[in-house]
């Protein structure tokens, strides 16, 4: 479960910055990129046993080639139904195939451990990354366009600058700090709760 909290790939480890800071301008884009991230990382984590037979220097290239094949498959399927959305992702669609979050998760999978354990770990890391991606995308869409999933909201304030990459970095920086603060607060609260429940506390 650490992929969701203490080892969150987006907010703790700072992986996949291109998708988080530059591509995440609307919730729809965030959702498409999240599905692609899941769709590439989890199947490749399942193929980990096969990849362990490959020399180490060839592992990352093969992962990237396979990920690009999957990205191409997904985008070809979606292109028929959502051509504008797929087109609006521009260069960030193929960039998913070389996403550092995926690479790190799959290369860490080369550590010893059961197959399902690794798949579960990949799932949790993807979930942690995608929650952060969708939250940042939603925030930027609300502040920048005044919409959420393309539905207009009743807000009057528009900060068009938040849609630009520099704001993406700054928003991500603040999100990382807020997450760190919240996680530390949670740990302290849990520690205090465990202390108060500990036997012999009343003596």
Can you give the binding site for other proteins, defined by CB under 8 A? 12-18, 20-22, 57, 59-61, 64-65, 68-69, 71-72, 75-76, 79, 91, 93-95, 97-101, 103-104, 160-161, 163-170, 172-174, 176-178, 180-181, 184
Q: Which is nearer to other proteins, 1 or 65 (CB)?
A: 65
* Shortest Å, Cβ 90 to other proteins: 8
Q: Which is nearer to other proteins, 115 or 181 (CB)?
A: 181
Give the Å distances, CA to CA, from 145 to 131, 137, 142, 159. 21, 11, 6, 8
Give the Å distances, CA to CA, from 104 to 60, 62, 93, 101. 10, 14, 19, 5
Query: How many CB atoms sit inside 10 A of residue 89's CB?
Result: 19
* Shortest Å, Cβ 8 to other proteins: 11
* Shortest Å, Cβ 162 to other proteins: 10
- How far is Cα 48 from Cα 59, in angstroms, rounded to an integer? 10
* Shortest Å, Cβ 129 to other proteins: 11
Q: Which helix (H) or strand (E) holds 92?
A: helix 92-95
Q: Which is nearer to other proteins, 35 or 98 (CB)?
A: 98
C-alpha of 128 from chain center = 6
Sign (positive/negative) of CA torsion 165, 169, 170, 175? positive
* Shortest Å, Cβ 118 to other proteins: 20
Q: Which is nearer to other proteins, 4 or 120 (CB)?
A: 4
Q: Which is nearer to other proteins, 166 or 191 (CB)?
A: 166
- How far is Cα 81 from Cα 156, in angstroms, rounded to an integer? 32
């Amino acid at each position: 479960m650490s992929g969701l909290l203490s080892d969150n790939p987006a907010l703790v480890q700072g992986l996949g910055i291109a998708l988080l800071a530059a591509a995440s301008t609307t919730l729809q884009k965030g959702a498409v990129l999240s599905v692609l991230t899941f769709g590439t990382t989890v199947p490749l984590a399942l193929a980990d046993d096969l990849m362990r037979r490959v020399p180490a220097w060839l592992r990352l290239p093969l992962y990237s080639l396979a990920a690009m094949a999957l990205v191409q498959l997904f985008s070809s399927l979606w292109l028929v139904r959502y051509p504008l959305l797929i087109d609006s992702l521009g260069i960030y669609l193929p960039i998913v195939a070389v996403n550092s979050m995926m690479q790190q998760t799959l290369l860490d999978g080369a550590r010893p451990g059961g197959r399902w354990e690794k798949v579960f770990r990949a799932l949790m890391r993807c979930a942690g990354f995608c929650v952060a991606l969708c939250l940042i995308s939603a925030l930027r869409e609300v502040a920048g366009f005044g919409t959420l999933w393309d539905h207009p909201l009743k807000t009057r304030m528009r900060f068009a600058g938040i849609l630009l990459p520099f704001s993406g970095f700054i928003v991500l920086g603040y999100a990382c700090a807020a997450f760190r603060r919240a996680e530390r607060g949670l740990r302290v609260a849990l520690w205090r709760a465990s202390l108060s429940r500990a036997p012999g506390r009343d003596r």
